[in-house]
Amino acid sequence: MPITVIRNADYVVVWDNTRTSHTYVSGGDVAFDGGKIVFAGRNYEGEAVETIDGRGFMVMPGLVNIHSHPSSEPLNKGFLDEIGSPGLYNSSLYEYMPLLRPDPEGVPDCVRVAYSELLLSGVTTVADLSIAHPQWVDLAAESGMRVCLAPMFKSARWFTPNGTLVDYEWNEKAGEDAMVQAFAIIDAAEAHPSGRLSGMACPAQIDTCTPALMRDSYAEAKRRGIPWQTHAAQSVSEFHEIVRRHGTTPIQWLGELGVLGPTSLVGHSIFLDDHPLTPWHTRRDLALLAETGTTVAHCPTVFMRRGIALRDVGRYREAGIAVALGTDTYPHNMIEEMRNATIVSRLMAGHPRGLNSTGLFEAATTVGAKALGREDIGKLDVGCKADIVMVDVNHPMMQPHRDPIRSLIYAAAERAVRHVYVDGRQVVRNGVVQTMDYPAAASRVHEAQIRAEERVPGLDWARRKLTEISPLTFPQA
């Protein structure tokens, strides 16, 4: 591919190797040759076949999302916004989330909607934690993004018989078979000719997997040199369940299993032994995460809806824990997730000093990249992938743009994202996704939700209709 240069951008968020940090360069240029950056700074003097006028733009690295569920979450819009099980510490995991699930026809459109929303909010790399579905590899390639496929597998399904108890139906053989299938999908992703697909081992949840499944998947991930992620410390019910089974906290149980480490991610690591809602006699969890180099996959939006929050991101970072960001729920808007992360962190800390926009941007770029084992994404530097986002600094919500990253996070969000490139290929042009038909997919997801709503009474323990569980904002005339 010919060399392309973005010239005279108002701001370029360049990687400074001396400081090992992002830095603003005004009046900057970014040149890329095919899928790689060959220049990032001022006064590019090399050849260029295509020149893009950067005036009026901030050029920044694509965002890295390390935890997302594209195949299911778009369908929950309008349903899970305001409910959490009162008898299960306000989590919606056990009573409500299993109810509204897309049928096979609806899954591909859920994925298209989620991928499109991610691209529109500047995400160029996403870890997709989904249950295996037939079109997954093709859809990931179609999106134009870098997609890390993380097929979830488990030994049990959870359910509640009454809204106050969480029970488990175990099938260890099914979990083992699903793990084999998951690694086959990862093989297919890594062999894909696009070169943009990769894999992650993902035993679904700490409470739905046998110790053997956790250990075996971790060992296989290590053998393959890929990251490993599970859900843990994500609900009060789960905390109590792990204490009941093993006499220790979820994080310490992961430590005893030997699955914490620099290649491990734990979503969501909220309920540690010193959290106000799960006070325990130890004060070991925070240090254990730091000592092992484990990354916390932080997704504040889905929890803040229920009045639940991690305590607090600044505290984790000060302890030496790597915290990266994901969009666990709809909307799949990474910039809004960044905003929510800092606001919730400050509320939990009781002051505004624990997490600033510098740390927030790192969490959404280089920290996430490192968690995925990548040094070539999440920053604009020579030799890195040409994953580039162009933000319109003349957008009214970006102005004044004294500090354009803050204006983007705290005000404009995706509204100011105009162009997105992945591997040097433009995937968003003038705020429109080029690789997928987002509006058509969104319309079909609406139809899929209607079909799913009809199945709810048969899945609910109390045989309720969806409108009984989640009433509409206003009654229908």
The pLDDT of residue 34: 86
Question: How far, in Å, CA of 81 to CA of 32, rounded?
Answer: 42
The pLDDT of residue 2: 83
The pLDDT of residue 112: 98
Other C-beta atoms closer than 10 Å to the C-beta of 309 total: 18
Domains and CATH numbers, the chain: 3-61+380-433 (2.30.40.10), 63-371 (3.20.20.140)
| Nearest to 269, CA basis, from 316, 301, 227, 215 | 316
The pLDDT of residue 172: 98
- Cβ neighbours for 442, distance < 8 A, ≥ 6 positions apart: 74, 109, 113
pTM of the entire structure? 0.97
Report, as ranges of residue numbers, the positions in the chain whose pLDDT lies below 50: none
The pLDDT of residue 1: 63
Question: How far, in Å, CA of 11 to CA of 25, rounded?
Answer: 6
